[in-house]
Chains A and B, each alone.
Chain A
Amino acid sequence: MAAQADPVAVSPRAPLVSIIVAGHNQGRFLRDALDSALAQEYSPVEVLYVDCGSKDDSLEVAASYAGRVRCAPRANLGPSGGRNVGIMLAEGDFFCFLDADDTMDSDCVLERIKPFLEDPEVGMVAGAFRAVDEQLEPLPGERQRTGTPNLRMPGLYIREPWSPTCGLLVSRRAVCACGLFDPFLWRAEDYDFQIRVTRKFRHVYDPVPRSSYRQIGSSISRNYSEVFDSVCDALRKNAAFADGRLQFRWHSFLALIAQSSGGVFGRQARERGIAEVLRTTARIALRRPIILVLFAAWAGRVVRNRLFRVARSSASAGGGCL
């Protein structure tokens, strides 16, 4: 096997990585998640499962892994609270997060631990992922997020597409110096966490997708108006610490367009037609009028992209447009 020859995989002084799996009523997917965590080519690895008040068979599934998976049952603390419990119990120098409905490839930890060992300044390795459905089949309609490798973004991480927590590696030092997840944010908590880590530490982006992120109807991040609120909260929280106030405002405005409204409008326009989009927007706008500005910005961007495409095809020259 290739992994046998890998110097990191066989190093006797390899640091312990704690894989923290937090779950709430995801018993039917938990086996996939725990199997993928236990099947890592990298060792030493410890796997913790934090159960946030599940009412299904999650705890029985976790109990069947006794001896290999440490299980911590708690009340429903939300995704952040669950991961924080995992961080408090973990013993590793590095934490790897995985949600109970997602899976990691077997080389995920092995490849993503390397930047830490090469550069002690690195605090976090995030990476690309595959959007999949319940049967782990790739979803063609979902935008596959990719990014540039070795991205260094001190301070302003906000505009870049953030990666979800599945397959995210963070060092213990970075967690201690930048704080744990914010338990009051139930959505966009990974965004907030990553903004904070990149303010003090170097961040590496792995463009190869090494985890599968299930897109399920009941998944909490599908509720767009709440995502919108949470993203606003995460940005507001971090704005308190930004040096360039205007710069932060501008970047967070762009991030809001790209991350929440872009997703809301674009996806729904494709799935349900423009009438449904207008109705949804009107409903959210009653609570959050700012979304009208974002909607206008999104519509403007769509029109601009269309115009660019027309101009490009007529001039038949591939310019540097978006």
Chain B
Amino acid sequence: MSSAAPSSNPRDLLVSVVVPCYNQARFLGECIESLLTQTHPRVEIVVVDDGSTDDSAEVAQSFGDRIVFLAQPNSGPASARTAGVLAAGGDVLAWCDGDDRLRPDCIERRLELLLGDESVGLVSGNVAFIDERGEKLDIPPEPHPGPVRVGFYGAVSRCWGATCGTVIRRSALEECGLMDPFLLTCEDWDLQIRIARKFAIVFDPRPLAEARQVSGSLSRIPLRLYDDGRRMLRKNRIYADSGWRYFWAGHRALFRQVVGMIFFRLRRERSGTNRLVAAIRLLLARPSLTVYVAAWLGRFVFNRIRRLLGIKPPP
């Protein structure tokens, strides 16, 4: 349990993977199997049952002493990850949710990026998407030529990569704090912003983890995302030295995510009337979304004018 001293041989480093699990018993076995077959030799698996009502606890306990098992009353994924970190002994922490999977070389590859540079505190990366049966979905991962290194405003300007498959130095968590349990979504973005205040963040474009697309997923609800995103941005604003730059970068990122999510939500409605009703309901629930709608309309008009004038948008 010493501090995260860069070991001469990274293969000796203990990596603790924290697996929060809430009613994901169907997928949990698959998830733990994928962690047990990692090519990195020293992996500790900490499964935190976040008050599941299904048989998640039995599934986890069937792995015996190959995993560390904790249970707590339901208090959200960030809280479960916090509990897992407190119980973990590794010098490097990794996240993997109970319904996701890591590819066998995920931890090894991401660890290379993390340990290659002393100033890197967190490495997150792309994921491939799978459906409930574990079949690969045809959603292409975001193309990027190579690993991207970002600082504070870079971290504010978008949430880099997915939660699952992220590796973090323990010393970065000690210096920058753990996840905020009051956030049910955006908690990974919040952690990235805080870590980016003191460390660099590296985004790995290789899809080394597999995230499951489940319809009832928490982060697919636009208003939840909007509320938490706004709270998270307000909370971290006290750390920014330039308020305007922070505001612009953060809200641009949140705008993209929320508007994308709202369109996804509206497209599911059958008729135009239903779509209109759903949109009005969203606006009535959060009147401040009007600003985002205005921004979207403005962008739409701006792009039309640009196309009329024949100006090509910047790459």
Q: Is B1 an interface residue (CB 8 A)?
A: yes
**Using Cβ atoms and an 8 Å threshold, which residues of chain A touch B180?**
179
**Contacting residue for A81 out of B75, B174, B234, B237, CB 8 A:** B174
Interface centre among A72, A80, A173, A180 (most CB of B within 10 A): A180
Contact in complex: B85, A88 (CB < 8 Å): yes
Do A74 and B3 contact each other (CB < 8 Å), given the known contacts A176-B72, A179-B179, A183-B177? yes
**Contacting residue for B79 out of A177, A236, A241, CB 8 A:** A177
Contact in complex: A176, B75 (CB < 8 Å): yes
**Using Cβ atoms and an 8 Å threshold, which residues of chain A touch B86?**
87-88, 90, 172, 175-176
Interface residues of B in 1-39 (CB under 8 A from A): 1, 3
Q: Is B182 an interface residue (CB 8 A)?
A: yes
Q: Is A85 an interface residue (CB 8 A)?
A: yes
Do A240 and B235 contact each other (CB < 8 Å), given the known contacts A176-B72, A179-B182? yes
For the complex, what is the distance from the CA of A200 to the CA of B181, rounded to whole Å?
A: 11
The 10 closest A-B pairs by CB, nearest first: A240-B234, A176-B83, A177-B75, A240-B231, A240-B235, A233-B238, A176-B82, A177-B79, A183-B177, A237-B235
Interface centre among A87, A88, A241 (most CB of B within 10 A): A88
User: How far in angstroms is the closest Cβ of chain B from A202?
Assistant: 14
**Using Cβ atoms and an 8 Å threshold, which residues of chain A touch B179?**
179
Do A179 and B181 contact each other (CB < 8 Å), given the known contacts A74-B3, A89-B1? yes
**Using Cβ atoms and an 8 Å threshold, which residues of chain A touch B83?**
172, 176
| A238 nearest in chain B by CB position | B235
Interface residues of A in 82-111 (CB under 8 A from B): 84-85, 87-90
Q: Is A133 an interface residue (CB 8 A)?
A: no
Residue-by-residue, is B69-103 near A (CB-CB < 8 Å gives 1, otherwise 0)? Answer: 00011011001101101100000000000000000
For the complex, what is the distance from the CA of A173 to the CA of B230, rounded to whole Å?
A: 27
Contact in complex: B178, A179 (CB < 8 Å): yes
| A73 nearest in chain B by CB position | B3
Interface residues of B in 167-187 (CB under 8 A from A): 170, 173-182
Q: Is B248 an interface residue (CB 8 A)?
A: no
**Using Cβ atoms and an 8 Å threshold, which residues of chain A touch B76?**
177
For the complex, what is the distance from the CA of A87 to the CA of B232, rounded to whole Å?
A: 24
Contact in complex: A184, B174 (CB < 8 Å): no
Contact in complex: B175, A177 (CB < 8 Å): no
Q: Is B239 an interface residue (CB 8 A)?
A: yes
Q: Is A178 an interface residue (CB 8 A)?
A: yes
| B83 nearest in chain A by CB position | A176
Residue-by-residue, is A231-244 near B (CB-CB < 8 Å gives 1, otherwise 0)? Answer: 00100110111000
| A229 nearest in chain B by CB position | B238
For the complex, what is the distance from the CA of A66 to the CA of B177, rounded to whole Å?
A: 28
**Using Cβ atoms and an 8 Å threshold, which residues of chain B touch A134?**
none
| B2 nearest in chain A by CB position | A72
Question: Which residues of B approach A to under 8 Å, CB–CB?
Answer: 1, 3, 72-73, 75-76, 79-80, 82-83, 85-86, 170, 173-182, 194, 197, 230-232, 234-235, 237-239
Q: List 29 A-B contacts (CB under 8 A).
A: A72-B3, A74-B174, A77-B174, A81-B174, A85-B174, A87-B86, A88-B86, A88-B170, A88-B173, A90-B86, A176-B75, A177-B79, A177-B181, A178-B182, A179-B82, A179-B180, A179-B181, A179-B182, A180-B177, A181-B177, A183-B176, A200-B75, A236-B237, A237-B235, A237-B238, A240-B231, A240-B234, A241-B182, A241-B235
Contact in complex: B174, A196 (CB < 8 Å): no
Q: Is A182 an interface residue (CB 8 A)?
A: yes
Contact in complex: B238, A88 (CB < 8 Å): no
Beyond the given A87-B86, A173-B73, please list 15 additional residue pairs across the A-B interface where CB-CB is below 8 A: A72-B3, A88-B85, A88-B86, A176-B82, A177-B75, A179-B82, A179-B181, A180-B82, A183-B174, A184-B194, A184-B239, A233-B238, A240-B234, A241-B182, A241-B235
For the complex, what is the distance from the CA of A180 to the CA of B3, rounded to whole Å?
A: 18
User: How far in angstroms is the closest Cβ of chain A from B101?
Assistant: 25
User: How far in angstroms is the closest Cβ of chain B from A312?
Assistant: 42
**Using Cβ atoms and an 8 Å threshold, which residues of chain A touch B1?**
89
Residue-by-residue, is A38-66 near B (CB-CB < 8 Å gives 1, otherwise 0)? Answer: 00000000000000000000000000000
For the complex, what is the distance from the CA of A199 to the CA of B181, rounded to whole Å?
A: 12
Do A184 and B235 contact each other (CB < 8 Å), given the known contacts A88-B86, A176-B79, A241-B182? no
For the complex, what is the distance from the CA of A84 to the CA of B83, rounded to whole Å?
A: 13
**Using Cβ atoms and an 8 Å threshold, which residues of chain A touch B178?**
84, 179-180
**Using Cβ atoms and an 8 Å threshold, which residues of chain A touch B73?**
173
**Contacting residue for B177 out of A74, A84, A173, A199, CB 8 A:** A84
For the complex, what is the distance from the CA of A233 to the CA of B239, rounded to whole Å?
A: 9
Contact in complex: B174, A241 (CB < 8 Å): no
Do A178 and B181 contact each other (CB < 8 Å), given the known contacts A85-B174, A183-B176? yes
Contact in complex: A184, B182 (CB < 8 Å): no
Interface residues of A in 135-193 (CB under 8 A from B): 172-173, 175-184
